[in-house]
């Protein structure tokens, strides 16, 4: 869980807008001096304001980097891919665990049981015990 944000989005947007207005109104003033001025007006650390300005530039495409929308898409895709990978790992472990067994030779090994048409076997995967069913032809 990420840490709670000290400043809301409205405050961030206002500070960045004031910075850009300050830069336009006094082009001779350095960027650092503009950040210090706006930071002093709003009670912000100039480095905090610098981070917000750079993030906005990245999102606008004027500065190289990964935008917020791209970052969110990558995060969503990673989350989406995690479930099939976990399922594939469970199936791979179950396949290795049940390889070479048949209905006649399947024995109760660590929480499993068998019936005529179906065998259940417990498989350890990390810290979890997963129950996997394996169809067995008679």
Q: Domain range for residue 121?
A: 70-135
- Final residue before a domain boundary, out of 47, 65, 83: 65
Residue 3 lies in a domain: no
Q: 132, 90 in Cβ contact below 8 A?
A: yes
Residues making up the chain, counted from first to last: 138
Q: Does residue 80 sit within a domain?
A: yes
Rg of the chain over all Cα atoms, to the nearest angstrom: 29
Written as six digits, the tokens of 98 are 């049940």
* Count: domains in the chain: 2
Mean of all residue pLDDT scores within the chain: 77
61 and 103 inside one domain: no
Q: What is the mean pLDDT of residues 59-72?
A: 87
pLDDT band at 104 (very low <50, low <70, confident <90, very high): very low
Could you tell me if 129 and 76 lie in one domain? yes
**Higher-confidence residue: 44 or 108?**
44
Within this chain, do residues 78 and 60 fall inside the same structural domain, yes or no? no
């Amino acid at each position: 869980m990420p840490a709670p944000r000290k400043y809301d989005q409205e405050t961030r947007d206002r500070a960045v807008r004031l910075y850009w207005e300050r830069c336009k109104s006094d082009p001779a003033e350095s960027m650092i001096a503009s950040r210090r001025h706006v930071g002093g007006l709003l009670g912000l650390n100039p480095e905090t304001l610098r981070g917000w300005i750079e993030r906005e530039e990245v999102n606008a495409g004027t500065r190289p980097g990964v935008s917020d929308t791209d970052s969110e898409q990558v995060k969503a895709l990673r989350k989406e891919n995690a479930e099939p990978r976990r399922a594939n790992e469970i199936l791979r472990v179950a396949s290795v665990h049940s390889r070479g067994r048949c209905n006649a030779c399947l024995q109760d090994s660590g929480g499993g049981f068998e019936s005529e048409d179906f065998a259940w076997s417990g498989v350890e995967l990390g810290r979890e015990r997963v129950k996997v069913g394996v169809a067995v032809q008679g």
